């Protein structure tokens, strides 16, 4: 999340939108990317990077934002299970 670090450094206020909302949008965007890479690019490793990041996000935020941390854990579990069990259907011509 180097982008968020940079935005914090330059004093970006998020257009008045609370930080937790921006963080939730980041989780949603990363989840979409994980599913896209798994289904469209047939890449099984990229979603695992997202899973690892979400676990770290959950650990970091457990004390202050436990609901957000549990959401990160839940999304990590969903992405992991999808990554393990997804099988691309073979197209026959």
Taken in order 17, 18, 23, 24, the sign of the CA dihedral is negative
pTM: 0.85
For residues 68 and 24, the answer to whether their CB atoms sit within 8 Å is yes
Give the pLDDT band of residue 88 (cuts 50, 70, 90). Answer: confident
Distance CA 6, CA 29 (A): 18
To the nearest 10°, report the CA torsion of 8, 14, 17, 22: -60
- pLDDT in the model for residue 21: 93
Distance CA 30, CA 50 (A): 7
Cβ-based neighbour number of residue 84 at 10 Å: 10
């Amino acid at each position: 999340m180097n982008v968020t670090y940079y935005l914090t450094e330059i004093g970006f206020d998020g257009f008045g939108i609370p930080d937790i909302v921006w963080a939730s949008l980041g989780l949603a965007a990363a989840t979409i990317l994980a599913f896209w890479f798994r289904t469209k690019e047939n890449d099984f490793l990229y979603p695992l990077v997202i899973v690892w990041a979400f676990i770290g996000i959950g650990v970091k935020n457990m004390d202050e934002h436990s609901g957000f941390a549990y959401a990160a854990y839940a999304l990590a579990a969903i992405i992991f299970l999808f990554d393990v069990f997804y099988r691309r259907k073979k197209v026959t011509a």
